[in-house]
């Protein structure tokens, strides 16, 4: 995939930021000698179980409700292939490339703990696909917690299904050949190792967390711009005042807002113009800070999961002294709760941003020209941009309803409690995308509001945000096609470059 940094999976697990970098194609993945030794040890235990003819779930038995059926030697390897074939029943549109790669990187990370007993060649094949840019085409829907997405990925390893290479979809067998790879041969338990555990959920969660962290920073930036444009009263962000309610996120947001607004002539000019601001303006530290506190909690859950072995069964010890234990580590309850929580936090960032941008276009609350256009009437200005934000916020309210409290019975009552963590992670990603679009609209509107403060300089950080935007998108002197501008800002909010430019201007 080119000259890129290499991230090594060694003694410790991948971090969520490393996983996100691999998912985005920013880095390649390697396994160090420690990981390789653990893989060989785990596989040797599985081979010892097979040689001794022991009964072990998924190695010498069927799966799920079929776990009481004992398989012969030849059937054990056939089960692996059949597992992938029967479990690859996803539906709907394909996952984005980054999401599939996140799952693949998470799968490698989990298997590298060495407790699954997978054939090392399977992990080598996963790493090779990541590093050569061969991405299995994986349907987005069809998982209650795990299984389906991993099965589609697993099929690509053996040359079945489709894969994407450089934006083109082709048969997986063709993609393997083009990358100089051959289909891998599956052994006993390999199929189960590919579909089991919380790897799918963990990969998607790590990607969502990385996006949510960046989005929280952007929310502070666009909020500070709206605060300024709406003549906010800076006393609400006083450090001594905020210290009286010392939630970590609240204090952090207060510090960021003061840095963004430092030396603002707009803020200084309008102090005392009202007794207090509306809550969408006055409570930015409280609302944004609460979201950051939830992000911190989610980060801890993901870090623990990345450091966990989540297969069933797991093998412990050495080939000379081992245990194979059936367990429930594939249950994703902790991350399912975390993803529901992160979705709610991100929806709240979008919800309060929509309230702020609504105030920007309303002359009754902004004292600016209606819809932020110089000649209202012949021009509609930003009128319908607020409609779009309201639509996205409404969609987020529905998506933010928790999934983890629901339950279905699967596998003939063998799996009678499920987390629904993977669909929760997917909808969390949808909420993040919607909130990014809302913030993009707020960014455009707040910058447009600055046009009506001639001669007054914005704050140090908000000035950098304004000039960064204006370098690519001019002010609106009259109505023009808005959708491309919104789409451009949305992309810039996601890539991190603009954020770095603004951060460099802060103390």
Hey, is 443 helix, strand or coil?
helix
Could you tell me the sign of the dihedral formed by the alpha carbons of 295, 399, 279, 376, in that order?
A: positive
Could you tell me the sign of the dihedral formed by the alpha carbons of 53, 57, 63, 64, in that order?
A: positive
The span from the CA of 258 to the CA of 132, in Å, is 45
Q: Which of 80, 82, 72 minimizes the C-alpha distance to 50?
A: 72
- Asked if 134 and 168 count as a contact pair (C-beta separation under 8 A), the reply is no
Q: Which of 329, 500, 328 minimizes the C-alpha distance to 414?
A: 328
Q: Is 322 a catalytic residue?
A: no
Spatial CB neighbours of 216, under 8 Å, sequence gap ≥ 6: 288, 291, 292, 295, 349
Which structure tokens are listed for 132?
A: 């050569």
Exactly one of 16, 57, 146, 443 is catalytic; name it: 57
DSSP 400-421: TS-STT----BTTTTB-----H
Between strands 314-318 and 321-325, the pairing is: antiparallel
Which structure tokens are listed for 221?
A: 């930036």
The span from the CA of 129 to the CA of 13, in Å, is 20
How far out from the chain centre does Cα 149 lie? 16
Q: How many beta carbons lie within 10 A of that of residue 224, not counting itself?
A: 28
Contacts for 384-387 with beta carbons within 8 Å, 24 or more apart? 384/482, 385/357, 385/361, 385/441, 385/444, 385/445, 385/482, 385/486, 386/354, 386/357, 386/358, 386/361, 386/441, 386/445
Question: Looking at residue 164, what DSSP letter applies?
Answer: E
DSSP 300-351: HHHHHHHTS---SSEEEEETTEEEEE---TT--HHHHHHHHHHHHHHHHHHH
- Asked if 148 and 142 count as a contact pair (C-beta separation under 8 A), the reply is yes
Spatial CB neighbours of 325, under 8 Å, sequence gap ≥ 6: 313, 314, 316
Q: How many beta carbons lie within 10 A of that of residue 118, not counting itself?
A: 28
Which residues are annotated as catalytic? 57
């Amino acid at each position: 995939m080119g000259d890129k940094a290499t991230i090594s999976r060694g003694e410790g697990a991948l971090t969520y930021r490393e996983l996100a970098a691999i998912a985005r194609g920013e880095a390649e993945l390697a396994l160090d000698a420690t990981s390789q030794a653990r893989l060989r040890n785990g596989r040797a235990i599985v081979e010892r179980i097979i040689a001794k003819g022991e009964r072990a779930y998924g190695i010498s038995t069927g799966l799920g409700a079929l776990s009481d059926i004992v398989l012969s030697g030849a059937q054990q390897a056939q089960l692996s292939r059949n597992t992938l074939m029967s479990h690859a029943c996803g539906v709907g549109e394909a996952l984005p490339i980054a999401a599939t790669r996140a799952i693949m990187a998470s799968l490698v990370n989990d298997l590298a703990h060495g407790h699954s007993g997978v054939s090392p060649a399977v992990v080598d094949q996963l790493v090779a696909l990541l590093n050569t840019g061969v991405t299995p085409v994986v349907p987005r829907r069809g998982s209650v917690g795990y299984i389906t997405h991993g099965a589609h990925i697993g099929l690509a390893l053996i040359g079945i299904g489709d894969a994407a290479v450089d934006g083109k979809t082709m048969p997986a067998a063709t993609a393997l050949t083009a990358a100089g790879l051959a289909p891998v041969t599956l052994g006993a338990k390999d199929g189960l190792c590919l579909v089991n555990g919380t790897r799918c959920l963990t990969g998607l969660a790590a990607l969502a967390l990385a996006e949510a962290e960046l989005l929280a920073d952007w929310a502070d930036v666009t909020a500070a711009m709206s605060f300024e444009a709406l003549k906010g009263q800076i006393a609400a962000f006083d450090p001594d005042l905020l210290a009286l309610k010392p939630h970590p996120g609240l204090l952090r947001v207060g510090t960021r807002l003061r840095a963004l607004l430092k030396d603002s002539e707009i803020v200084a000019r309008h102090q005392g113009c009202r007794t207090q601001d509306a809550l969408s303006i006055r409570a930015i530290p409280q609302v944004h800070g609460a979201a950051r506190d939830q992000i911190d909690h989610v980060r801890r859950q993901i870090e623990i999961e990345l450091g966990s072995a989540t297969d069933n069964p797991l093998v412990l010890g050495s080939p000379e002294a081992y245990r194979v234990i059936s367990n429930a580590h594939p249950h994703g309850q902790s991350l399912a709760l975390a993803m529901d929580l992160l979705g709610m936090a991100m929806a709240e960032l979008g919800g309060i941003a929509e309230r702020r941008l609504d105030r920007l276009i309303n002359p009754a609350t902004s004292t600016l020209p209606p819809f932020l256009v110089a000649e209202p009437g012949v021009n509609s200005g930003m009128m319908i941009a607020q409609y779009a934000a309201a639509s996205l916020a409404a969609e987020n309210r529905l998506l933010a309803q928790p999934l983890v409290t629901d339950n279905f019975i699967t596998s003939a009552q063998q799996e009678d409690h499920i987390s629904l963590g993977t669909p929760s992670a997917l909808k969390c990603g949808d909420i993040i995308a919607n909130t990014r679009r809302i913030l993009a609209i707020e960014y455009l509107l707040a910058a447009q509001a600055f046009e009506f403060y001639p001669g007054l300089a914005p704050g140090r950080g908000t000035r950098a945000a304004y000039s960064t935007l204006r370098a690519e998108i001019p002010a609106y002197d009259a109505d023009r096609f808005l959708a491309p501008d919104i789409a451009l800002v949305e992309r810039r909010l996601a890539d991190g470059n603009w954020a770095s430019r603004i951060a460099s201007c802060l103390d």
